[in-house]
Structure 1
């Protein structure tokens, strides 16, 4: 990873932005897995909501882990900030792309991603090699 950043000169200074990048990567992998599951099995689209919440929760957990590990302190804070911003980006994109409406599912998504991000942040700050 260090050789990649040296070659291209890319270095992200913000822990939350790093977490959001990793959340996006895990979201893309989860969406691909859910697409394959939907195509290759008898699961209906109407039964996919728990799976979708699981993918978003795991993506937020991974992003919270990375952001807290990069910061080295206040893991739950950076993890929850990652989950909150992750969900805001999702809602903005879904509103602009499909004119999505507010529902109970959006509030559940906020709750799941913020809690998963905070938990990932607690794990990430303990995995950090430098504590402040």
Structure 2
């Protein structure tokens, strides 16, 4: 796989960017699972907010894990940076796509993603083989 990356020149030097990529992948998986859950059960859209926060928390946790594992140091810092960048990108996209407004859910989302990212970062730096 490394020869393939060298051939195409696809090398990501930033741990936070790598974490954001993985957060996006986990967000897509979570959105698909939530869509299937919404379609196949009696769950209504008005009751989805805790599930949505759970998906975003899991995505930030996975991204924080990857970003801290790639950095090998300061796990909570890289994880929280990943969670904050994830939530800022999410807010920008949601504002531009649906013109969503600032509600009380926004600071809760930022808190959840930052804490989940920091926790994932703590796990990721301890899973890293190149701890400094």
Which TM-score tier does this pair reach, normalised by the shorter chain? over 0.9
Unaligned runs of 5+ in 1: none
Identify the residue that residue 60 of structure 2 maps to in structure 1. Answer: 60
Counterpart CA distance in 1 for 2:2 and 2:80 is 27
Q: How many correspondences in the alignment?
A: 132
Spell out, residue by residue over 1:8-64, the C-alpha distance to the aligned partner (whole angstroms, 9 max, x if none): 321100000000000000000000000010011110000100000000000000000
List, as ranges, runs of 4+ consecutive aligned residues in structure 1 with deviation greater than 2 Å.
Answer: 1-4, 6-9
User: What residue ranges of structure 2 are gaps of 5+ in the alignment?
Assistant: none
How big is the shift at 1:3?
A: 4.4
Matches of 1:4 and 1:59, distance apart in 2: 27
Aligned to 2:78: 78
Q: 1:7 offset after TM fit, Å?
A: 4.0
Shift, 1:131, TM fit? 1.2
TM-score (normalised: structure 1): 0.97
Cα pair distance change 1:80/1:47, threshold 3 Å: same
